[in-house]
Chain A
Amino acid sequence: MSSASAALDPAAVRRIARLARIRLADEDVAQLQSELGAILGWIEQLNEVDVSGVDPLASVGSATLTMREDVVTDGDQTEAVLANAPAHSGPFYTVPKVVE
C-alpha cells in the first residue's frame, strides 16, 4: 500500500461517493478505500516522471478541435428527446421537486 492511501481516509471515500451520487454501504468503504488508494499510488508513480518542458499530450490523433458553422441543423424532436426519460409531462421532463 502506498503513502497516498493513508491520505484517503474513510470520510474522503464517502465524500467522493456522495459527490458522484453513488450510494455506498458502510461495509464497502474499506475495500473502496484500498482500491482508490492503489489508483492514487499509480498516479504518484507517474508524478515522479520529470515532464518539465514537455507540452501536455491532448490526443494522439489530429491535434486540434474541428469547428462547425453556426447553422441550425438539429432539434424539433421533443418526443425522441423525452422517450427515455423516467418521467415526463407534456413537453417537459419531470423530476422530484427540487427546492432551493
Chain B
Amino acid sequence: MSAPESTYVIEGSTGPWELVIGLEVHAQVVSKAKLFSGASAEYGAEPNSQVSFVDAAFPGMLPVINRECVAQAVRTGLGLKAEINLVSRFDRKNYFYADLPAGYQISQFAHPIVGKGVIEIELESGAIRPIGVTRLHLEQDAGKSMHDQHPSQSFIDLNRAGVALMEIVSEPDMRTPEEAGAYLRKLRTIMRYLGTCDGNMEEGSMRADVNVSVRKAGEPFRTRCEIKNVNSVRFVMQAIEAEARRQVEIWEAGGEVRQETRLYDPSRGETRSMRSKEDAHDYRYFPDPDLLPLVIEQEWVEELATHLPELPDAKKARFMSQYGLPAYDAGVLVMEQATADFYEAVARGRDGKIAANWMLGDFFAGLNRMGRGIEDSPVSAEGLGGLLDLLADATINGRIAKEVMEAMMETGETAAAIVEARGLRQVTDTGAIDGAVDQVLAANPDKLAEYKAGKEKLFGFFVGQVMKAMAGKGNPALVNEALKRKL
C-alpha cells in the first residue's frame, strides 16, 4: 500500500504524532436462518423464540452450515476484490460469557473463507486511497445480555446467538478519523449493494472494533488499543481522536501504552478500559471437531460472480462517462443503490447533467426539509422527469420550475397538473411581453433616464421588474430581447 499523504497529526508537546488505524467490522449476514441452525435470523422477535437446540448448545447437537450464508460471504469477498479461499475451516474460539452458551464461538481463525482484498475510499479532497482488507471470515454472533432488568440478575436472550456474522478486518492503513469514516461508509455501501448486510448500525447489524496507535513519523508501529463495539460512523471518528490524544499524553508523560480493550463513552467523549484481564485474548483456538473443512467449487464462485450487481465504483465511473457527471456528483448519486436507480430513471431519455443538478439541488433539499428519504419521496422519478420535460420544452422557466417542485413535494401532484391549475405556463407571447415592458418603463422614468445617461447596470433592474409584472412567467430570453429593443 502506498504511503499516505495525510497531513492529519496530533500536536503533542514533543511535536506531531501520526495515527495508525485499523478496523474490524462485524457485519450481520442477510439470511433467513442462522449460520449453523434452522432457527430464524430475523431481528426483533419475542425473547428466546428463535432458538434451536444447536444455538442453546444442548449436548450432542451438531451444527450444519447454511449454504446461503457461505454464498453471502463469497459475494462480499468478490465485492471487495478479494481472494476467495475454496478451502476454509472453522475453529472454536473459547471464552466464557453468559450469552455464549457453548463456551465457544464457532469462527474461522487460521483459514478464513476470504483473503486479501481492497476498498477504495474517497476523501473530501477528492483524493482516492486504497485501504487493504486483510481477510473476511464467517462466525456466529452471541446472544444478548440485559443488565438493567433486575437488581442481582442479568437476563439472557439467545435469539441472536448463532446468527451469521462476517468479520471484515482491515490492514492498519488508515491515518485519519476521516479515512476511517470513509472506509466504514464505503464498506456499508458495498454490502448494501450486494444485499449481504443491511448495514444498519443502530440495530447493531454492523459494528466496528477500532484499533488505534500513535507514532512519530517514520517509526514502526507502537502498542495499539482496541475500542470495542462502536455503533456509528460519527462515534468511530470521535473515538479515534479521543483515544489517540490519550495515548499521546501517556507517551509524552514518559509512560507506556498498555495493549487493552477499551470502550468509547460518547457522552464524555473519552475511552475507558473495559477488561484489563490478562486472559482476555487467550481464546485457545482449535479446529472445531464438529465441522469438516468448508470446500466450495470454483464454478460456484464464478456463478455467484456473474450475478453480482453493478458495484458503486463501476456505477460511478459509468455515470461520469455516460451522463457526463463530475466525480463528486456521481459519487453522491451512487452512495445508495435506491438513489442511483432513481437518478437513472429520471435521466433516461433526458439531459443527465440537468437531471443530476435538480436531484442534488432542489429535490434533495426538499426531501431533507420534509425529513424523508428517497424511498418515501412524495415525488417519483417519473414525476421529477415530468418537471424536467416542461423545463426542456420551455413550457415553464427555471424560476417557476423551482416553485413547481416545491408544490409537487407538498401535494404529490404532477408538474403538468400544477402548471395548468396555477397558470404557470411561461409567457412567450411577444405582445404580452412588450406590454409589460412598456408598463415598467412608464412607471420608472427616473431609472430610465439614468440608464439612458449610461448607467447600464440598471438593465438587470428592468428585467426583474418585468418578470415581477409578469408574475415570474415571462420567457427570460424574450424579456431580454424586448428590453434591449425598447431601451
Contacts and interface: CB of A to CB of B under 8 A. Distances in A.
Interface of A: 15, 18-19, 21, 58-59, 62-78, 80-82, 84, 87, 89-100
Contacts of B58: 84
Interface string B391-418: 0000000000000000000000000000
Nearest to B64: A68
B271 interface: no
Nearest to B153: A94
Interface stretch (B93-101, B184-192, B310-318, B379-387): B93-101
Interface string B33-63: 1000111100000111111111010100000
Contact of B53 (A69, A72, A81, A87): A81
B153 A59 contact: no
B48 A91 contact: yes
Contacts of A76: 49-50
B250 interface: no
Given A62-B292, A98-B145, A67 B150 contact: no
Q: Which interface residue of A64, A87, A92 has the most chain B CB atoms within 10 A?
A: A92
Nearest to A89: B155
B52 A75 contact: yes
Interface of B: 31-33, 37-40, 46-54, 56, 58, 64-70, 89, 94, 96-98, 103, 145-147, 149-158, 274-275, 279, 282, 284, 287, 291-295
Contacts, number: 138
Q: Which interface residue of B46, B145, B291 has the most chain A CB atoms within 10 A?
A: B145
A89 B146 CA distance: 12
A14 to B, nearest CB: 12
Nearest to B282: A19
Nearest to A76: B49
A15 B63 CA distance: 30
A72 B292 contact: no
A82 B143 CA distance: 14
A71 B37 CA distance: 10
Contacts of B54: 74
Contacts of B152: 96-97
A59 to B, nearest CB: 5
A97 B292 contact: no
Given A68-B38, A98-B145, 12 more contacts: A63-B292, A63-B295, A65-B291, A71-B32, A71-B38, A72-B40, A74-B38, A75-B39, A76-B50, A91-B46, A92-B146, A93-B155
A67 B279 contact: no
Interface of A is mostly: loop
A54 to B, nearest CB: 15
A59 B292 CA distance: 7
A96 to B, nearest CB: 7
Contacts of B94: 19
B156 A70 contact: no
Given A58-B293, A82-B48, A97 B154 contact: yes
A76 B134 CA distance: 39
B90 to A, nearest CB: 8
Contacts of A90: 47
Contact of B65 (A18, A67, A72): A67
A81 B56 contact: yes
A77 B51 contact: yes
Nearest to B263: A100
A87 B68 CA distance: 35
B181 to A, nearest CB: 27
Contact of A94 (B40, B69, B156): B156
Contacts of B291: 65
Contacts of B96: 21
A65 B147 contact: no
Given A19-B94, A72-B32, A95-B154, A65 B295 contact: yes
Q: Which interface residue of A64, A74, A75, A100 has the most chain B CB atoms within 10 A?
A: A75
A90 B65 CA distance: 31
Nearest to B46: A91
A6 B52 CA distance: 45
A75 B133 CA distance: 36
Nearest to A63: B292
B64 A98 contact: no
